[in-house]
Structure 1
Amino acid sequence: MDYSKFRVDNHNNWPAITTSFSENEFRARLQAVGGSPSQLFSPAPLKLLSDHHYQKCVGRLIDGLVALPERPDFFFDHCFQIIDSCGAHLNFQGIKGTTQGLGPLLIANDPSSWKVVLDSISSNAPLRTFEYLAKRLVASNNAPTTSLESQLSARAASCFGPNRYQALMMKFGLPTQSPRTDITDSNEKKLGLFLRAYLRAKPKQPKNAASHVLLDLGKAVNIPSDCKRIELLLSLLLFQIRNERAHGVGMSPFRASKSSMDRYKNYYFQMLIAYTFALGGMSLRWPESISAADIAKTMVKNVQLQNSFFP
């Protein structure tokens, strides 16, 4: 299929829109399991509160739900708006402050429930999610320091610690050079695997000796705290996805030549992570709205739904 012509024709012939191959594949899979969006997602049990700002957040969640089942990326956008809004109420300075500071508050509120959330995310997130982040980290490290793209590098140095971050870039990326050279496919997968193992936060002796002492995940001292695990997800992964969507960097995800069911799976999981932390922000702002225990139960249930739906 000539996707360039496909997209232009869809625009010019609106409202007669033709679906892409991946959209057809997704719809066929949904019909095969009963056709209900509930096969893919189950919302959390929110309490009834009359607070105007709370109702605005619930309204954003409903706007996101309306986009399902076909546009999980739209639901992601609404969830991130809630994260941003709750962070501002909690007096964090901007989105960066929110994504770097929300973790300690969530962990202090209910460490055991948020550990369940983090373990569920790290054990079930598609490798493609971590490969995406790996590619962006290397591109950011190799970008001019004055560019918007380089901001991820600064947040990564804060999350991992500057020495560990530079060790990662030396091992899996490339030193800064001009013109910029992106990560190789092989190193993208290797760095993705490292990021997934790091997020899992379980000491595991590597098959081969680590190239740098700070990259040895067999040592407990290198295992991140739960606060740092949340920072990786919020400040690096979700914030980067939000920036690319807000600035129109990427192609429409399900009308691209490389789109597939695997892409739907990846976007659904990103949506679920954003939804979970949106609920977390709401639970801090309105403690009676939902408990951390219910957030954890919702995460586990939705992971099961998505794992059952996607091959």
Structure 2
Amino acid sequence: MSPLTLTLSSYSRWLCRFKILHSQNALVAFSSTATTTTPPNENQTQSSGPAPPPIRVALTESAGRGVFATRKIRAGDTIHSAKPIVSHPSLSAIDTICYFCLKKMKPFTESQSQGVSFCCEKCKESSKVFYDVEKKADWVDFDDYCRTQGLKFPLLVKRLACMVISGAAPADIVDILQPASLTQRMILKMEEGFCLLRNAFTKANMGDERTYFLTKQWYTAVLARIRINAFRIDLAGGAYEDLLSLAAASIEAEAAVGNAIYMLPSFYNHDCDPNTHIIWIENADAKLKALRDIDEGEELRICYIDASVSCHARQSLLSQGFGFECNCLRCLSGD
């Protein structure tokens, strides 16, 4: 999936920025709902509504920020769910899934004029935060560039740019997320994608007052954050609610339907023997599940890669893909 977390230089600076972003736009909120199966305590009533997620974000000793349990969480509990800040379907699956929520479509669903489909009227209406802008431009060159180069993250930048132009999101909505370290060579390779994106909006006669933010620096900065914070979405399908089914779904899931960026899930650090698992059942709404009992104060961690490979292979994947050396107990033991 994709990706997540390195080091944050100043927690107080991050907290201040989050408060500002949270007040600017509801899209930045930790779109999370508590759906834990732990029964309420004696002081709770049915009318009090769902409790907040049993977690907090704080600094770790060595891995920057992380997510910690505020109470005991039982194996199999749903810790919280999260809606994406921005998502985009895979180009290979674009004709078979909802263009907004990435839910798999039933056969022979009526398509829209540009070949995209929505699973319901709600998704069609919700898509206006980007689609009303997107359909005004010609994306053939940009999509061909992504397809021939095997790129997926520029598609998320395109969708985010459309959201900013439509006024649905601030241009700095992902600034809170940790960026990847980019070499000058990597930045130069991004230039073609930026030019194609910019040209598409220019040819669509969108004025500078609407695309003022769309500079090479903005494009590069957003792509740097997406590179290590985007999740690859593999739909499990069905109503997998027990732990064994979740594990099976993770292994047997079909090819990825797309990629997405989330706020709270991006704060989870990595472990090759994780206590938490992120899944997608029917669409891009993510669920964080406890793989085992978790004690109060314990850090919640997910696995960024295929944990079944050797220690050497895991270290190589994490170093090249995420820029850090894993020092989890499993790696330290050489397992």
**TM-score, length-scaled by structure 1:** 0.28
Give the structure with the larger strand fraction.
2
